[in-house]
Chains A and B, each alone.
Chain A
């Protein structure tokens, strides 16, 4: 299990050191690649752009607004690229697709298994390492885009059907089936845990024989008896993807490795992404492919199967998916996990209407086969039975994979014996099927428990056991409690009998039959959870965002990574009224400049854009023919320039869909000169240092100067980089560093009311040429200002001076401030009343003056950003000061009560400042967000200046900045297949290159309320709600904001109640929430207890405002971790330590004292800081191993670092902390507390599910919400 590389700590210049597998176009020498691709990020070679830059200068213009969307700037189209010279070892195209995504688990990318790739032999390697999860591509016949289909190992599409033909299997099934009636009983009697895997496997053996058609092969890959030849032919497309996806992530840690390893071996070409998948937690299941969308393609496949007329269709679909799980030996391990995937699939259910409609015609024929196969059925239930006992009741959800199966029952039949875990659902449904189908009035039977419903064909055996020992699965998916095998059966039957569009009516018809209803719900991914009964609602491992399932045409198009681009609802409501009914906030969260390890970068003479709306060409456009494409945002048909036909990878003409622009939803262009209105600016950095009395006391200057001195060389920039310093107390001190000086010369301006620059030049100097002078200055400064000074700070004047200095070039101003600016322009008065720190309503959240805002707007116009480091020891009125960063696209960093003597604070500042100095930076940037017609951006959140309705002006853009946009639906989207969003970030890299980074996200639409509710993305919603709440605090009041947050939870649950026809909250004993929104109330409660929004607890105003700034501008992952910190048990670390190479991976705990055991030790991680909490009952062995102390009392009261001890346990904890630190901008600070330390409240106040004075506990909060649900 390799972790994705740390994306953050990239020092500029290191980014291209990708292993060979990821070779991209990047590494092709530029000289050979005129029209090809260039390198990424800051690492551009200067030489490579020189010619390019010289062109730029032609195009200067006075205005500073880049020609981002001017109609006139369409690049000249027809300059064909020079063909590439042959380049040896040119990487395959699909690498492009992988590039942008750090997170391998990001939704299914198109099959990247060797398509046309030059690397046939390499497949195994790719599969294991970087191939995204494979999806059985055969179901979507998109010959053009699906490279993988024709991969060397795979059969062409038209050959595929035979592989899944059913005819042989039935025979074999029958043999196994004979056991079935008996086995179920046996199975029931077995203690859940005792099922030997061998038993389960037995059914498999028949299949391994040659009898099985090609279709079976995937299943039996694991068994040695399979004819070897069949493996390469069939295996690849079918099983693997599924297997790895489904099994991997969901497995309990122990079993995971097993699966992942076996899968690859068995399936040479398998998509084995399993490893990354595992790592990234719950998989994104590919089930959707089985569902509706793929159906249309079925007929062709089917044609090859004489024996299996209509039936085979479903079979084909589902069958391929099941195989992987059937590996012998794996079964037992897989069981529990399997069910998980099922759960997860459910919410992701594709639009049901499609599958339903399409399958409808198929139905009648199906029933007959069903009858025929009846005899066979029993056997299949057999495995299911066996498994059943072992499965905790909840695990049955496997059933939910039912959606997958619609076609499915057949699949189940045939593959039954082999398909142990997963197929369970298949099995079980099978027996019921036959009767159900023929039976004209299906309803009556169904209403009864599964057993009776089964009727004739032996459904009875279906175990109702559900008596499995609770596993941790229960905790994770408690809602499953009520699903029993019978229900599962029912679901499946029902699903077969009723095409989707009927479903709704049927559901209501049977409203009183809750069992049936649940079946429906699960079937369509509409499960719900009773929040009041479900105590352990937090998944133990972070969940992936719900998957986006596009219509079949684009089902395999690469969508943007959810880490970059996320929408609160993964299926956009078709109309505004539907959106209103769902009461969900609609918005997108963007992290546009996120550090990416693999980003395709393209340099070409003309960038292909829509002539009408200026959308960049992207994977979701429709190619009318080889010469024209249809814009997916405005639907205009555009011409395709000649050179776009050229594929730089295969060096061939004629297939525009092979271009990297079409292969990747995140791409970067090197912009031609049309995109510049002035020559790209150099990197210019100016540091404003507070040297007033309080600043000198805090001693921050030493820390900052030392850090800066050691990172001067790593400042992103090219040979033109400039740097300057300005200090201010009651006066402004400038530092002149010109050629003739041997030491920096200080010039002090006393007149702060009318600020001026004492020297026209040499205040900003070239970094490379004056390195020595600058280092000397940084050495002198702390000494120079060590003596006591004046208690006055003229920040406003200093900012004006800085603006004057920077305005001609643009760049970045970094302000260090420790006290309230009290003289000169922009002077402020203290507004905080320390006695009101815990009062109900918080005042003074708005700026006291607009001085800083106006200054920020001036800066923004001059392409200058202001970043603020507030190291205050007293009230500084951050609410006002933050204006300078908010509107100039800067960032606010806050370390309250900073004292350099406290080494941990000095370290924290060093880490923060180091990251700040060395991270990538984009200058003079603009971010434009385009939406499909009918959707419009309503409100923006983040730090920027909104220059027009869809354009954000970002003087600087940093990789740690996130943005959010609220959307409105202005016209009906009913006739659209999908809704697309494109965010394009035009910026100047620190190397002086103009670049455009384009992210495109496509989402399907939904037309029913349940669909909308169940495709909500709760994490993203919280991200958006937090920003909206902060806004509300500013525009209205804090109490109103809190009220609005609670109402958000109430509204959503009310909408769900309406959609499901449940009783009103006040009269109901339960509080039901859709599966996809089950964590929303918890997160909202956590949000209410954030520093920003809490009342009743003493909170400094500055800290409150700093937290608000953070929530407004941080990317989603950081916000989530801050809102609901991760709590890990440390004392059980060893149990979750799978192998030596890997850090342990313990499950998360809910933030409640209930989960804190007196004999444990815990780690609470909120992103910025980690708190290690050691309880007094912890075993001495643990203490000595981890902390190197003999007893609890020897632990320090509070420690700031974990000692290094030469023990395995200590190393393990270190490894774990290091692993946690990998995915954030800078390592978190660590605090170790005993449970009797004085400051243990730091830990206990984060247990947000518990009641604290003045704030509700989670349960109380739910009760409160329940009474409100109407």
Chain B
């Protein structure tokens, strides 16, 4: 039982993952508000857009740690999401600020559904990975 680097990265991952879960909950709620007309899309995009890059960044940090600590399995699981993030950001609408969401197209039913589904899927993924990291951490801590 020793506190190794892999164990450290799992601990960090757990903490960051908790944040990511909050991000995606916020995301889901925000789009639900849009759908039920509670919020003006301009305001909503203004509050969502600044959060996009930090989320991506946090996710990258975890994976960087996994890479460095050689936790290949956890890394492998996260690679598709990284690729998706890159793809998503590359295809964002023309906008001057950071972020993904364009208030003029966000209310399109297709876009709205896609965004909402994305939020739910990410939430599920982060939740599952939270338990995975927990398990991983325990395994690493025990396996000495």
Contacts and interface: CB of A to CB of B under 8 A. Distances in A.
Interface of A: 65, 846-851, 853-854, 857, 861, 886-887, 936-940, 945-951, 968
A945 B36 CA distance: 17
A937 B108 CA distance: 9
Contacts of A65: 40
Contact of A946 (B35, B41, B95, B96): B41
Contacts of B36: 949
Contacts of A886: 104
A99 B88 CA distance: 52
26 contacts: A846-B94, A848-B94, A850-B94, A850-B95, A851-B96, A857-B42, A857-B104, A886-B104, A887-B104, A937-B109, A938-B108, A939-B108, A939-B109, A940-B108, A945-B103, A945-B104, A946-B107, A946-B108, A947-B40, A947-B41, A947-B107, A948-B34, A948-B41, A949-B36, A949-B107, A950-B37
A677 to B, nearest CB: 14
A936 B104 contact: no
Nearest to B106: A946
Contacts of B93: 850
Nearest to B111: A939
Nearest to B38: A948
Task: Tell me the interface secondary structure of chain A in the complex.
Answer: mixed
Given A939-B109, A949-B34, A949-B112, 9 more contacts: A846-B94, A850-B95, A850-B102, A861-B42, A938-B108, A938-B110, A939-B108, A946-B41, A948-B41
Given A939-B108, A939-B110, A854 B96 contact: yes
A847 B70 CA distance: 44
Interface string B102-124: 11100111101000000000000
Nearest to A886: B104
Given A938-B110, A951-B37, A946 B104 contact: yes
A886 B41 CA distance: 16
Interface string B22-38: 00000000000011110
A850 B96 contact: yes
Interface size class of B (residues with CB under 8 A): 10 to 19
Contacts of A846: 94
B96 to A, nearest CB: 5
A1005 B14 CA distance: 54
Contact of A849 (B40, B96, B110): B96
Given A857-B103, A946-B104, A949-B37, A938 B42 contact: no
Contacts of A939: 108-110
B40 A949 contact: no
Which 8 residue pairs of A and B lie closest in terms of their CB atoms, listed nearest first? Answer: A948-B37, A946-B107, A938-B109, A850-B95, A850-B94, A939-B108, A887-B104, A850-B96
A589 to B, nearest CB: 18
A968 B41 contact: no
Nearest to A65: B40
Nearest to B40: A947
A850 B102 CA distance: 10
A951 B107 CA distance: 10
A123 B140 CA distance: 95
B109 A847 contact: no
A948 B39 CA distance: 8
A846 B94 CA distance: 8
Contacts of B102: 850
A848 B93 CA distance: 11
A1081 B46 CA distance: 44
Contact of B109 (A853, A887, A945, A968): A968
Contacts of B34: 948-949
Contacts of B107: 940, 946-949
A1119 to B, nearest CB: 21
Contacts of B108: 938-940, 946
Interface in B76-115: 93-96, 102-104, 107-110, 112
Contacts of A853: 104
B79 to A, nearest CB: 28
Contacts of B41: 946-948
Nearest to A846: B94
Contacts of A945: 103-104
Nearest to A967: B109
A1037 to B, nearest CB: 13
Nearest to A1031: B108
A946 B104 CA distance: 7
A949 B35 contact: yes
B141 to A, nearest CB: 49
Contacts of A849: 94, 96
B92 to A, nearest CB: 11
B94 A847 contact: yes
Nearest to A937: B109
A981 B94 CA distance: 34
A937 B110 CA distance: 11
B4 to A, nearest CB: 48
A938 B107 CA distance: 9
A946 B35 CA distance: 12
B38 to A, nearest CB: 9
Contacts of A946: 41, 104, 107-108
A861 B43 CA distance: 11
A826 to B, nearest CB: 11
A1122 to B, nearest CB: 25
Nearest to A950: B37
B49 to A, nearest CB: 12
A951 B42 CA distance: 14
A65 B96 CA distance: 27
Contacts of B103: 857, 945
A951 B93 CA distance: 23
A947 B106 CA distance: 10
B44 to A, nearest CB: 10
A950 B112 CA distance: 13
A153 B36 CA distance: 54
Nearest to A968: B109
Nearest to B42: A857
Nearest to A880: B94
A316 to B, nearest CB: 48
